[in-house]
Amino acid sequence: MSTGYVEFWGRTRIHCAAGAVVRLPSILQGLGARRVLLVSDRGLVAAGLVDRVQRVFALNRSGNLPALAGTYAEVSQDAGSETVNAALAAARACAADSIVALGGGSVLDAAKGVKYGLAHGLTDIGEVLLSGLRLEVEERPLGVPHVAIPTTAGTGAEVTNGAVILNQATGLKVLLVAPYLEADVAILDAQLTTGLPAALTADSGMDALTHAVEVITNPAASHFTDALAFNAIRVIERALPRSVADGRDLQAREDMLQAATMACLALANALGAAPVHNCSHAFGSVAHVPHGRANGVLLPIVMEELREFYLPYAARLAGAFGIDACGQPSEVLLDQVIARIRDLQIAVGMPRDFTGLVSAPIDPAVAVRAILTDPLAALYRMSVERATAIVVRALGDT
């Protein structure tokens, strides 16, 4: 039960417009940056987006504007500790005092690890990633100017003070949470997302939808988080099918960027039971299913298998999806919400299970154990039987 105490943290300033990335040097100047490290990955080098951001600096050579001191574009898919450490070394080698993160969730999280490492004088981020959760509460600015530029519309990591980093020495994915870890400024530029393939667009969008749903089904939710989560669902239902159907629909892309940011900001401020993310983390660790795809497939499965968890929130969910409750029982409302999610899955080409996606056979017992031992399992304890039912259905065995 909620105590009624509400705290809302939303520090990141957001610039949103097609082409907004051209403002990057002046934004950094306003943050007091002088020498900037650009953090990204090989995929965005190949896509030409890293070069595009580098050219923004090259076109702004005024002596009063910050300089691009270096680029580190080797971030691994899971934001591994080794790449965070390599980026830390690159930052120190070029005497960078600020960070620009360009990419999806892994890049945005890795950049947060670099920021944390610079602020705390670390050479090995693994030193602070020894358990499933590293939570710091001291509200002390980290002193590293930080701009995030997402190239996917899903994680919302540009505005949250948490980062999921894989400790490659232990094989453990760790959630690092600290005040001021989020970017000072986020640039939502739809032009940087138009090259995202349809499948990745769908995965990212369903990730954002899952964030919003897990806010609404949470006793920690407030009017602040509801305003973001309810609106995010409304926007996603309308804009995601358009984004998938036409990758160059700038308005749909911009709408999805905003929706993803809203959904994750809401989730960061209503942290509680998150059974879908609990299960998707498990499939990510044991079967290497990409996070957005895992959430997109699992969302309706988990809602169907954990009805007892979702039924008390059925009216809230119905309201978020624009379904008229009309005095209908919770069981009926929940079925209608799940049907809407299934319709959206079909519209964006999201499969109903992981058949064909998991390359090697997965022992269901291993996946169940991963669900029950994930850090999020502490926030909602599901039974072995319910976890098994979810795993079997997700693997396409029924």
Mean pLDDT of 330-349: 98
- Which pLDDT value is given to residue 135? 85
Q: 326 falls in which pLDDT band (50, 70, 90)?
A: confident
pLDDT, mean of residues 127-133: 87
Residue 1 has pLDDT above 60, yes or no: no
Mean pLDDT (whole number) for 343-360: 91
- Statement: residue 2 has pLDDT above 70: no
Lookup: tokens for 11: 């520090």
**Nearest-angstrom CA–CA distance, 252 and 301:** 27
| Bridge partner list, 99 | 37, 146
15-29, 61-75, 223-237: the lowest-pLDDT one: 61-75
pLDDT range class, residue 397, cuts 50, 70, 90: confident
Instruction: Centre a 10 Å sphere on the Cβ of residue 48 and count the other Cβ atoms it contains.
Output: 10
Each residue's pLDDT tens digit, 12-25: 999 999 999 999 99
With contact defined as beta carbons under 8 Å apart, do 277 and 377 qualify?
Answer: no
Q: Could you read off the pLDDT of 170-217 as tens digits, one per residue? A: 888 888 999 999 999 999 999 999 989 999 999 999 999 999 999 999
Q: Does 356 score more than 90 pLDDT?
A: no
Average pLDDT over residues 49-54: 97
In whole angstroms, give the CA distance from residue 347 to residue 237. 10
Residue of 61, 64, 117 whose CA lies nearest to 90? 117
pTM of the model as a whole: 0.93
Asked if residue 282 has pLDDT above 60, the reply is yes
163-172 tens-digit pLDDT: 999 899 988 8
329-340 average pLDDT score: 97
Domain map of the chain by residue range? Answer: 13-192, 198-394
Neighbours of 30 (CB within 10 A): 14
Task: Note the helical H segments in the chain.
Answer: 24-30, 42-46, 49-58, 81-93, 105-120, 198-216, 223-245, 250-268, 275-287, 291-305, 307-310, 314-320, 330-348, 364-373, 384-394
Q: Is residue 322 within 8 Å of residue 246, measured between CB atoms?
A: no
Q: How confident is the model at residue 133 (pLDDT cuts 50, 70, 90)?
A: confident
Residue 78: half-sphere exposure toward Cβ, Cα within 13 Å: 17
Query: 182-198: buried (b, 16+ CB within 10 Å) or exposed (e) per residue?
Result: bbbbbbbbbbbbbebee
pLDDT-based confidence at residue 221 (cuts at 50, 70, 90)? very high
pLDDT for 143: 95
pLDDT of residue 398: 61
* 301 phi/psi in degrees, rounded to 5: -65, -50
R_g over Cα of the chain: 20
User: What does the mean pLDDT of the chain come to?
Assistant: 94
User: Are the C-beta atoms of 123 and 93 separated by less than 8 Å?
Assistant: no
Find out whether 111 and 146 touch, Cβ atoms under 8 Å: yes
CATH architecture of the domain with range 198-394: Up-down Bundle (1.20)
Which one-letter amino acid corresponds to residue 42?
R
358 neighbors 395 (Cβ within 8 angstroms)? yes
pLDDT, greater one: 62 or 247: 247
What is the mean pLDDT of the segment spanning 136-145?
90
198-394: same fold as 13-192? no
pLDDT above 90: residue 336: yes
DSSP output for 134-182: EE----------EEEEESSSS--GGG-SEEEEEETTTTEEEEEE-TT-S
Q: pLDDT value at position 206?
A: 98
Closest CA to 317 of 224, 168, 214, 196: 214
- Beta bridge mates, 188: 16
Which residues lie closer than 8 Å to 397 by C-beta, 6 or more apart? Answer: 364
Q: Assess whether pLDDT exceeds 90 at residue 252.
A: yes
- Domain 13-192 architecture: 3-Layer(aba) Sandwich (3.40)
pLDDT above 70 covers what percent of the chain?
98
Among the ranges given (78-82, 227-231, 339-343), the one the predictor scored with the smallest mean pLDDT: 78-82
Residue 368: its pLDDT value, please? 96
Q: Is the pLDDT of residue 92 over 80?
A: yes
Average pLDDT for residues 142-159, to the nearest whole number? 96
Name the residue among 311, 201, 309, 307 with its Cα closest to residue 260: 201
Instruction: For residue 232, count CB atoms less than 10 angstroms from its CB and return exposed for 0-12, middle for 13-18, buried for 19 or more.
Output: buried
Rounded CA separation 74/38 (Å): 11
Output the pLDDT for position 61.
Answer: 65
Residue 62: the pLDDT is: 61
